[in-house]
Structure formats: structure tokens, C-alpha cells
Amino acid sequence: MYNVMLVDDEEEVRLAIEKKINWEELGFKVVGTAENGYEALDMALERRPDVVMTDINMPFMNGLEFSKQLKAELPATKFIILSGYDEFEYAKEAIELAVVEYVLKPVNSDELYQLFSRLKVRLDDEEEQRRNLENLEKYYQETFSQFKDINTHDLVEKPRPIFQSTLMNVIYR
């Protein structure tokens, strides 16, 4: 189950998105909603969502600034930008933040369902890759540790002939 946070200054939009999507069926859980970037930032730092869907145009702190600040703290978080504006500058800034999707309002539940279905596959793939890397790292650490133990054991148990002959030459000179 992946955690989602919804951020939009329009309460009816937040409620509609939260209620019209079967989050559990998709493998997500809504862990919080916020109406502005400041509130969202505090909440996100506490609840550590995997995905944040945020509106761009909000009071106090817009969605892009909020996303930028949160990404600095939680770089693995994925962002979906909702916007009523089809403006190139917003889209350009969203691309720089590496947002997953830039969705224009109004958005329907089928569109969001498909978006989150694709995102779930992506998150699952990333999680599997992360686990594989961790397992590989663990394997190499264990293997290196075993070789290190064997080498240390050999040095303690069997003095090396070169060392012995060098030591004997020094003693008898």
C-alpha cells in the first residue's frame, strides 16, 4: 500500500478526488489532505507520502514551491500536478521538478484511476529494483566478509614463507 496526499485549496476538488477513487483497489491509501502548501509541507514531512497530488495555484505557497521544498526533504516522493492553467512556464517548472504527471482540470475519476494504475506499476518496479539492489549489496558484503575472515585466518595460522625468510635473514646478519 502506497501513501497518497491530496493538496488543493478547493475543498470540493479534494473531497471529490478522495471519495470517487477506490484507492485501496489501486494499492493506495490517502494519508492526508491539505488546502495550501504550508499546511501540506508540515503534514507531508510528518506522514511521508509516496505520492503527492497538488494543485498549482493555491494561497500562501503554490503547488510548485511546495513540491520543490518537499522534494528537497523527501526526494523519493512522486508528484502529480493538477492545474487549471495550460501555461508553458508552469509545465516547464513541473518538468524541472521531475513530476510524474501534469494534469489539467477538470479531471475525471476514470482519468485519475488510469493515472494511479500506471503509477502503481512504476512504484512497484522501483520497489523491486530497490530490494534487488539491497539483496545484491548484502550478498557482496557477506561474501567480502567471508573472504576477509579467511585471509585473516590464513595470516594468523600460517606465517608466509617470504616473511619468515626475510625475518631469518635479518636475525642472522
Given this model, what pLDDT does residue 157 score? 54
**CA–CA gap between residue 146 and residue 124 (Å, rounded):** 33
Domain of 38, in residue numbers: 2-127
Higher-confidence position of 86 and 118: 118
66 and 85 in a single domain? The answer is: yes
Residue type, 160: R
17 and 68 in a single domain? The answer is: yes
**CA–CA gap between residue 104 and residue 160 (Å, rounded):** 73
Last residue of a domain, one of 127, 142, 158: 127
Given this model, what pLDDT does residue 70 score? 94
Closest CA to 80 of 105, 53, 98: 53
16 and 81 in a single domain? The answer is: yes
50 and 100 in a single domain? The answer is: yes
**For 76, which DSSP code?**
T
pLDDT > 70: percent of the chain: 85
Given this model, what pLDDT does residue 113 score? 94
pTM of the entire predicted model = 0.77
**CA–CA gap between residue 98 and residue 73 (Å, rounded):** 15
Counted domains in the chain: 2
Question: In degrees to the nearest 10, what's the CA dihedral of 126, 16, 114, 91?
Answer: -70
95-118 pLDDT per residue, tens:
788 888 888 888 888 999 999 999
108 and 134 in a single domain? The answer is: no
Rounded alpha-carbon distances, angstroms, from residue 160 to 156, 165, 173:
10, 9, 20
